[in-house]
Structure 1
Amino acid sequence: MERVTIVGPSGSGKSTLAKRLGKRFGLLVFHMDQLFFDPGWIEKSKEALLEETKQILDENEHWVIEGNYGKTLPSRLSKSTNVFFLDYPRRIYTYRVLKRLVQTYGKVREDMAPGCPERIDLPFLKYVWDFKTRRRDKLLKLVQSELPSNCKLVIFKHPKECERYLENEINVYSN
């Protein structure tokens, strides 16, 4: 694994997977949420986000980038060797988001931009709930349409599938 893009709904474990892959395979890890927000949850312009993403892609040979951000996906996918789509049931990622809110409320998570503490945000909760019905298919189509022929796409339907895959991949790369 050299250049990995991870997509999926909030709470699916994109950041956790990115950190695991980064540690195991010696890849730099980038979180799109860190790139997208300035302190105080101020959203950067699309142009600034695209430029920061381009800079990461141009300056680094090996990486994991997690997060959806559709405007940046074509450039990330064009350089990816592996793409993981965490396509879990709504009950799993919604529960994880709620659990995360309780555990980290008022704190800045390491995968978030500085100055962006965890908060209860009803529009975000609605975004999470609506992912499966409003965003999933569009995201999957975008990934499939932009996927280079030499890139491996793996869609995980459950965290256990992802875990089994990682165990197998780590064994393959260890031998």
Structure 2
Amino acid sequence: MRRVVILGRGGAGKSALARRLAAATGLPLTELDELFWSADATPLPRDRWAAIQDELVAAETWILDGDLGPFDVLEPRLRAADTIIVLDFPLGVCLWRALRRSRESLVFWRWVICYRRRSLPGILAGISRCASADQYLLRHPREVERFLDEQR
């Protein structure tokens, strides 16, 4: 495990998993939200976002944490990854965590609520089409704990 992509709906715990995995493995972590969203919550243009990811994946080791929903361009990081982790937690868990975390936009809430129907099929198809990586579909926080235990 040297190049890790972590995906999942808002509130699933992607960033928490990424931080713990970085601590356990020593891999450098990049939180994609910090690079993608401007101060006024405007997304980057798709071509610029793809170019930034091409730069990120050129490094030998990394953890890229983030799922930018309908704004994302997944292919650059899926092609470069050797490990892909998708967090597919129940909606209630994600809603509760997201509500506790911060105020979010209507676009965010629609994405969270419709994730399994609208986003997840495209993510899984992209993984199937672009990636030759170890894949983990974790559906519950207990599965994340087991995964992390295996990495130690």
When normalised by structure 1's length, the TM-score is 0.79
- 1:126 and 2:125 equivalent? no
Shift of residue 123 of structure 1? 2.6
SS in 2 for 1:43: coil
Shift of residue 94 of structure 1? 1.2
Query: Between Structure 1 and Structure 2, whose CA radius of gyration is higher?
Result: 1
1:78 corresponds in structure 2 to 79
- 1:169 and 2:151 equivalent? yes
Unaligned runs of 5+ in 2: none
When normalised by structure 2's length, the TM-score is 0.90
- 1:28 and 2:10 equivalent? no
What count of residue pairs does the alignment treat as equivalent?
Answer: 150
1:46 corresponds in structure 2 to 46
Shift of residue 121 of structure 1? 1.9
2:93 corresponds in structure 1 to 92
| Structure 1 stretches of at least 4 aligned residues deviating more than 6 Å after TM superposition | none
Query: In angstroms, what is the RMSD of aligned CA positions?
Result: 1.6
1:68 corresponds in structure 2 to 67
Shift of residue 56 of structure 1? 1.2
**Aligned-partner Cα distance in 2 for 1:121–1:71:** 17
Shift of residue 120 of structure 1? 3.7
Unaligned runs of 5+ in 1: 102-118, 171-175
SS in 2 for 1:88: coil
Higher relative contact order, chain-length normalized (CA < 8 Å, sep 6+): 2
1:110 corresponds in structure 2 to none
In structure 2, relative to structure 1, the CA distance for the partners of 1:71 and 1:130 (3 Å cut) is closer
Shift of residue 31 of structure 1? 1.6
**Aligned-partner Cα distance in 1 for 2:127–2:95:** 23
Amino acid corresponding to residue 98 of structure 2 in structure 1: V
Amino acid corresponding to residue 112 of structure 2 in structure 1: V
Equivalent pairs: percent with the same residue? 28
SS in 2 for 1:83: strand
Amino acid corresponding to residue 122 of structure 1 in structure 2: L
